[in-house]
């Protein structure tokens, strides 16, 4: 089974994790599913001496290559992942929060896109 197929299968099986209105905990090294509209994947963390390394791998389809995001969170820190939308549109976003020995994933409040792309 390819990495892309594995990611998409895991995302389908665990699709309720990121779609819940409240934060859903994920377990160290076990992970859970995340969804950002057109892209989906898995998130997991591993404890390290400097904090918890959170790894999120996302893919749009089986034909698109996956993208991986990594960060280290200490107690009380969070990170938000979002997908861009048209100017003025609401973004799809999730927040990953570390509280003590727990890491949770929740749907972030929608924000209006106010970004501008740089022109070459």
**Mean pLDDT of all residues in the chain?**
75
Can you give the pTM of this predicted structure? 0.62
Whether 104 contacts 79, CB under 8 Å: no
> What pLDDT is stored for residue 12 in this prediction?
37
> What pLDDT is stored for residue 21 in this prediction?
46
Statement: residue 64 has pLDDT above 90 = no
CA–CA gap between residue 47 and residue 45 (Å, rounded): 7
Residue with the larger pLDDT of the pair 14 and 72: 72
> What pLDDT is stored for residue 113 in this prediction?
53
CA–CA gap between residue 31 and residue 119 (Å, rounded): 38
Hey, where are the domains in the chain? 3-107
Whether 76 contacts 26, CB under 8 Å: no
Query: For 10-62, what is each residue's pLDDT tens digit?
Result: 333 334 344 444 678 888 888 888 888 788 888 899 999 999 999 998 888 66
Statement: residue 1 has pLDDT above 60 = no
> What pLDDT is stored for residue 112 in this prediction?
58
């Amino acid at each position: 089974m390819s990495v892309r197929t594995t990611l998409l299968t895991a995302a389908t099986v665990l699709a309720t994790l990121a779609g819940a209105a409240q934060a859903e905990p994920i377990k160290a090294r076990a992970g859970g599913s995340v969804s950002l509209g057109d892209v989906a994947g898995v998130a997991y963390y591993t404890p390290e001496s400097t904090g918890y390394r959170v790894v999120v791998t996302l893919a749009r389809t089986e034909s698109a290559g996956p993208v991986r995001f990594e960060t280290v969170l200490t107690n009380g820190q969070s990170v938000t992942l979002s997908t861009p939308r048209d100017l003025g549109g609401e973004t799809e976003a999730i927040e990953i929060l570390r509280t003590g020995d727990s890491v949770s994933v929740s749907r972030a409040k929608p924000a209006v896109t106010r970004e501008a792309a740089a022109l070459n």
